Amino acid sequence: MRTSGLTRQALRRHRWALLGPACTQTVSAAVISMMIMTAMSVDRSPLSAADRGSRPVVELLDTTSVFIGVSVYMSILVVGVTMNLAMGRQLHDVAVLRAIGSSPGQVRRSTARQAAVIAVPASVAGFLLAVPVGALWVAALRVHDVVPDAVRFTPHVLALPVALGVELATSLGGAFLAAVRTSRMRPAAALTETATGRRDVRPVRTTFGLVLVAAGVVLSAVLAGVAPEQAGDAAFFVMLAECVGVGMLGPLVLGAVAGMVRPVARRGLARIALEDLATMTRALSGALVPLVLATAFAAVKVASHTTAARVTGNADAAVDRWTDYSGTAVYCAFAAVAALTCFITVLVGRRGALATIQLTGATRQQIVRLVALQTVVVAATALVLAAAVAGATLLPVLHTSLGVWLPYVPPAVVAAGVVLVGAVVAAGMVVPAAVMTRRPPVEVVRIAT
C-alpha cells in the first residue's frame, strides 16, 4: 500500500484523534504570527529615536522574540505528544498494515504526511486568528503605556509563510518522533497492547526523564551562584528540562499517586476510578508537559514580582508587570489549549471503555463521577509537580537577586491558580465524559470497535 493511501485512510478514520495536533498547531501559528506582526508593527511605526530606543519598546521586542522561541519549543513538544496520542489510536490499524507487509518507514512517512496535511490549514487559521488578537493586544499595550500611541497593529502577510515554515518543521519533527516506537512494534505486540489498553513504559524513557530532572536540579544549583541577569536568562531552560523530564516520568508519577490513594478507596466507585486511571497513566502523562510548564511559568512570573515587592517594599514598575503578565497570559493560553486537547484526545479514545462500564450496570452519573475523581487526582498531581518545578527554577533567581530563598505569593493568586488548573483538567476530562455517555453504550461500543 502506498504511503499516501495510508495517510488518506488515517485522516478519514481517525480525524477526531488528529484534532489535538490541529488545535495545537493553530494556537502555535497564532502566537508566532501575532508576535511577528507585533514586532513588524512597532518597527514600521513613525516613532522618534527616543521612543524607539526606550526601555519598554526594547523589552517588548525582546518579549516577541522570546515568545516565538517558546512557541517553537512548545510546538515540537506538544505536537509530538498529541501525535503520539493519535498514533496510539491508530495502533490497531498499524498492526494490521504491518502484518500485511507495510514497512516501518511507510508508517513513519504516513505519520509525517498526516502532520503536514494538518499543518497547512492550521497555520492559515492561526494567522487569521492572530490578526484580531494581535490588534487587541497592541491596543492594550498602548493603554498601559508599554508602547507609544503612534504604534498601531498592522497585519503582515510575511508572518504567514514564517508561521507555516515553523509549523511544518516542528510538526514533521514531532510526528517522526511519535511514530518511531509505533512503527517498529511487532504486529502481535501492537494488537496485544490495543486489546489491553496498556502501554508499557520503556526503561529508556524513564532513564531519560530522570536525567532531565537531575540536569534541571543541577543547573538550578549552579544558577544560585551566578549573576542575577544570567540566572534569569537561564531559568527557562531549568523549567523546560524539569517539565519534559516530568512528562517522561508521568506514567510512574501518576501510577505512584494512584497507588498512594488506593488504600483510602478500598471499594466502590473510587476504587474503580483509580484502577481505570492506572490504564491511562502513559496517555495522560503527555498532558502533564504543557500543563505543568504553564503553571510553573506563571508561578515564577507572579512570584518574582510579588516577592520583590514584599522584600524591597517597592512594587515593580506597572509597565514591567503588565508586560510580563500579559505575555504570560498569552503563553499560558497556548499551553492550556495544548493540555486540553491532550486530555480530550485521551478521553475520546476511552469512549469504548466507558461504554463498557455502562453496560456492566453503571449509570451515566456514576461514570461522570468516576471521571471527576480521576480529574482530582490528575489536577492535584499537576499542581504538586508545577510547584516543585517552579521552586527549582525560582529559588536560585530569588537568592541571587534579592538574597532570600522563600518566595511570597498572595493566597488569592494561589487559589486562582488551583481553580484554573482544575478547570482545564475538568474541561478536558469531565466534560467529554458527560457528552460521550449521552449516547446509548451499545452504539458507542459498536462505533469504537
Domain residue limits, the chain: 1-196, 198-449
Closest by Cα among 102, 247, 95, 110 to 172: 110
Which pTM does this prediction carry? 0.81
pLDDT (0 to 100) of residue 421: 94
Distance CA 123, CA 129 (A): 10
- Whether 1 has a pLDDT exceeding 50, the answer reads no
What are the Cα distances from residue 276, in Å, to 230, 311, 333, 414? 45, 47, 29, 30
Cβ neighbours around 96 below 10 Å, total:
13
| Helical (H) or strand (E) element with 193 | helix 187-196
- Whether 384 has a pLDDT exceeding 80, the answer reads yes
Distance CA 317, CA 133 (A): 25
pLDDT (0 to 100) of residue 92: 64
Q: Which amino acid is at 297?
A: F
Distance CA 45, CA 48 (A): 9
Is pLDDT larger for residue 255 or for residue 407?
407
- Whether 419 has a pLDDT exceeding 90, the answer reads yes
Cell of 428: 478536558
Percent of the chain with pLDDT over 70: 80
- Whether 318 has a pLDDT exceeding 60, the answer reads yes
What are the Cα distances from residue 440, in Å, to 161, 309, 436, 445? 46, 57, 9, 9
Percent of the chain with pLDDT over 90: 12
- Whether 377 has a pLDDT exceeding 60, the answer reads yes
Mean pLDDT, rounded, of the chain: 79
pLDDT (0 to 100) of residue 123: 92
CA 99, distance to chain mean position in Å, is 34
Instruction: Give the confidence band of 425 by pLDDT, cuts at 50, 70, 90.
Output: very high
Section 363-368 average pLDDT:
86
HSE (CB half, 13 Å, CA atoms) of 186?
3
- Whether 446 has a pLDDT exceeding 70, the answer reads no
